[in-house]
Structure 1
Amino acid sequence: MSGRGEKAKREKGEAGFDVFARYYDLDYQGVDEDVGFYLGFAQRCGSPILEPACGTGRVLVPLGQAGFEVTGLDVSPVMLDMAGRKLGRTLKKRVRLVEADMREFDLSERFRMAFLASDSFMHADDLEDQARTLRSVHRHLMEGGLLLVDLANPQVPSWLDQGDELRLHWLREDPRTGRSVSKLVACQMDWARQLQEVTFFYDEQGEDGTLRRTVAPFRLRYLFRYEMELLLQMTGYALEGVYGSYDLAPFNAESERMIFVAERRA
């Protein structure tokens, strides 16, 4: 890809994440079932820990609160600003936030553990970007350091049955404003290219009764188990295990999640 094309792609991605950043925490309200999983591996590996695509700090903040030194990077300055507001004086000593693209970054530091939570790796939407992301993380891991990647399993019915119709995902009250917000999702599958063209619609009721709609389109590329295993092998990792849940149940075709744990090779 040309330098101009790469710049345009990055700017488009950054702008897309900025658009729905204000609804991100509302979207993930009450979602914490994976936090214990990351805490367990953090206890095994120790500090420092790296989270590319950290968003607003949903996982990063609890790790910092547990005493770990964590660096989070994200392409969206708005997301990072929201994450920074969650850090008190003590946490700011242990948690560092960096505006950077997970596909190419240089922090001049190495980490004992890195993780890509909640399908964030799927935002690398072609093979080149997937490999670049894994290599960038590899450069920042100590020898023997662990990489954890949490992906959706594309073989389960909830994936196979997806159509392009507009669906109501949730209706919630925004605790910051007290206003009603509904989220609708449209998803178009490109099965041949393993792409998901997703559009989020956030409808917010204003004080005067008018409806404000925020539209956030983005693209995800889903992966199958052995495709991901090969990517890890090609980018310098040795696979430790593949799990189907956050309590480390063995992966099978019915598992909702597909969680990879890999060790950095020299």
Structure 2
Amino acid sequence: SACPGPPPPSSWGDIEGNELCKIGRAQSPVAIDSSKAVGAVDMPPLAWLCGGKPCAGDGVAKYDADTPSKVREFYDGHFFTADSFAADGPPKITVDGTEYTLDELHFHTPSEHTIGGKYFDLEMQLVHSTPEGRTLGVAVLMFTGDGSSGPGWVSELASVIAPCHLSPDSTACRLTAAPTLLASKFEFKQVAISLAPLLKHYYRYTGSITNPPCTEDVSWAVLRAPLEVSQDDWTAIAALQGKNNRPLQPLNGRTITWV
């Protein structure tokens, strides 16, 4: 039988160690109101480096088509995740003079952050950390267009999910099965290429991780422009996860900046 899903967000704070989920004053996600956001001058475009070179640039070699990706992909009962990016460098990004390393990317259906009161079909969160334990989240809002076009790397991930729908037990896609579920061509370089046009304009604020233990003091960058994904790819991810977005959290006086 399928494993039970995680407890609902309303009860997270009742579990020992997760108190911040209930009493934290700087939680995520938040509703972004562009009219109240403050323009900033010191927010350069976001950019990832893979092995010291721009991940989206020509200097980063593509994987050999015959060599499977080393990226691990799995469903943990809460969201679909990809991690283990060592073969990509691993990707690093510098924000406010601090260098962060990409740990994982995962998906929420529908989006967690809203812009102008609008939810998006999907949100990809790229979670980064420093050796000292600081966390940076980069949120990419996604929508399904009328066509079937979408980034190939999203299709790669969606193809990994396909077998899960054939099994009555979604644990078939959990971590234990992950080594057999690797997408053969997924690489971060492709993610960086498709996000490159969107990385100049984003919102910044300080919040938390959006699942227990809801740790605060997380730097968030939310890209202002959404990315289009295909209906089929969205359907594959949404059918696996169901609704897994945390409700919006109060700003409590926090400032959102934008560039």
The two structures share one fold, judged by TM-score above 0.5: no
Q: Which has the higher helix share?
A: 1
Structure 2 length as normaliser, TM-score? 0.25
Structure with the larger RCO, 1 or 2 (CA within 8 Å, 6+ apart)? 2
Greater strand fraction, Structure 1 or Structure 2: 1
TM-score w.r.t. the length of structure 1 is: 0.24
